[in-house]
Structure 1
């Protein structure tokens, strides 16, 4: 069962200056200890939603709450928010600015006024979590794209947030880079960090997330990922395609080859493993 909400939007709406409403009347809670995929077509408001959750944008209507309390957009309130919620934007070059990886990752903890020893410990732990310890002294401009992605995430992780929000973190990565990043995120989830990922990749969402939030022109709907991604009408409204894994599982179940309670294979490798197990049982 989902835990209590760490951060939530209540009746939230937002419009950019001189533009139409991007989001309106949004109720959205991020429960503790869950992995959550935010899905929607390009232009659906995913990035706006993430920025509202992290305090980068302020609701034009409604409110943002952290641990059940309304966020105050003063220095104290925003500091509390940013030690609870951290956003990593899609393009790491919009986030990295220091000369070296270690300096960049240390920037947030130093701004909190932490003792030098605590800063060093946080940097070391964040680099280890993202598997980039060897890059600590590497100039950021000499990193590969995938390394820059992980360095940007490490900078957020060093803040020790309860909720880590990622905007299209796998965009631009090759398959190997995606797998390395997902392994790092699994490690963070295992250590207690709640991870929210915006994506338009339904297959990735089905494989990775516990829950999903789907943005459509009619609003936002949230729930267990398999339930939402099995709703053809909802996916059509969001202009998202159906996950191949659910189509395969539906076919196998219709032919009596897969039990209704068996987990859906999320990757070709998982489907191969399922096939091998089925062959042994047969």
Structure 2
């Protein structure tokens, strides 16, 4: 059973209500799922392979249609016609894990312009959005670069820029740090911080519990019994729930437990989320 949504906000930006889905001739992937994304949150979605993370994200973005239940946008059911899906995709954008599944145009700027052009915007507005998105992802210098000559990290940024150019209120990222070196991960997280500061709500699917503890305000754990959503630190300290989700305890949670047991951290104090925060606590 899904845990109740504890948000104080009355209406989610986008939500799945009582949703069930199965692929053709396959077993159910999601059954009776309730899941909501609220404005201003950094939400990490975690679960074992095959738990339904990618399916859930595609349902949220309109790439899949639920067999039962409904998708809502601002509290209103989404219509799966051209107008309804256009309205959804100007609010919610999904960036898939492999950028090569998303990039197809000859140059970075051409690729990033594809979505805005399909909205029927003026050339001036399209250029403005492309420039804004490239600057946000720190790849303005790559505007004319052929996409097939980009590094993997640059391709990741270009794919995200294409979504950002749509100016979505919700940006959904499937394993955005996968395949990036530590410097690339840090640069991407800094970019996400800037997007959030500018008003974009971000949902990130990841297997990395340490990243989720560090980055997210809230986490959603997909288990065989349903989805469990709550504050990041408290939810990622629930060892039985983590076991059900096929995840390990984050090192920051374990470190906080040791520090509290030795009287080095007050019970009410937040535990370390990074190595730097741990070092600062022990100085």
> TM range, normalised to the smaller chain?
over 0.9
The aligned residue for residue 131 of structure 1 is 138
Alignment partners' CA distance in 1, 2:48 and 2:165: 31
Matched ranges for 1:185-204 at <5 A: 185-204=192-211
CA contact (8 A) 1:2 1:34 kept: no
Alignment partners' CA distance in 2, 1:208 and 1:138: 31
Q: Which runs of 5+ in 1 are unaligned?
A: 277-282
Q: CA deviation at 1:117?
A: 1.0
Alignment partners' CA distance in 1, 2:270 and 2:152: 34
- Tell me whether 1:87 sits opposite 2:94 in the alignment: yes
Alignment partners' CA distance in 1, 2:163 and 2:31: 28
Among 41, 50, 53, the alignment partner of 2:57 is 50
- Tell me whether 1:215 sits opposite 2:229 in the alignment: no
The aligned residue for residue 256 of structure 2 is 249
**TM-score, L = length of structure 1:** 0.96
CA RMSD in angstroms comes to 0.9
The aligned residue for residue 140 of structure 1 is 147
| 1:196-221 Cα deviation digits (max 9, x unpaired) | 00011100000000011100111111
| 1:43-80 Cα deviation digits (max 9, x unpaired) | 11100000000000000110000000000000000000
Q: CA deviation at 1:2?
A: 5.2
Q: CA deviation at 1:226?
A: 1.3
Q: CA deviation at 1:263?
A: 2.3
- Tell me whether 1:184 sits opposite 2:195 in the alignment: no
The aligned residue for residue 276 of structure 2 is 269
Q: CA deviation at 1:274?
A: 2.7
Q: Which runs of 5+ in 2 are unaligned?
A: 1-6
Alignment partners' CA distance in 2, 1:238 and 1:109: 38
- Tell me whether 1:62 sits opposite 2:41 in the alignment: no
Alignment partners' CA distance in 2, 1:241 and 1:183: 26
**TM-score, L = length of structure 2:** 0.96
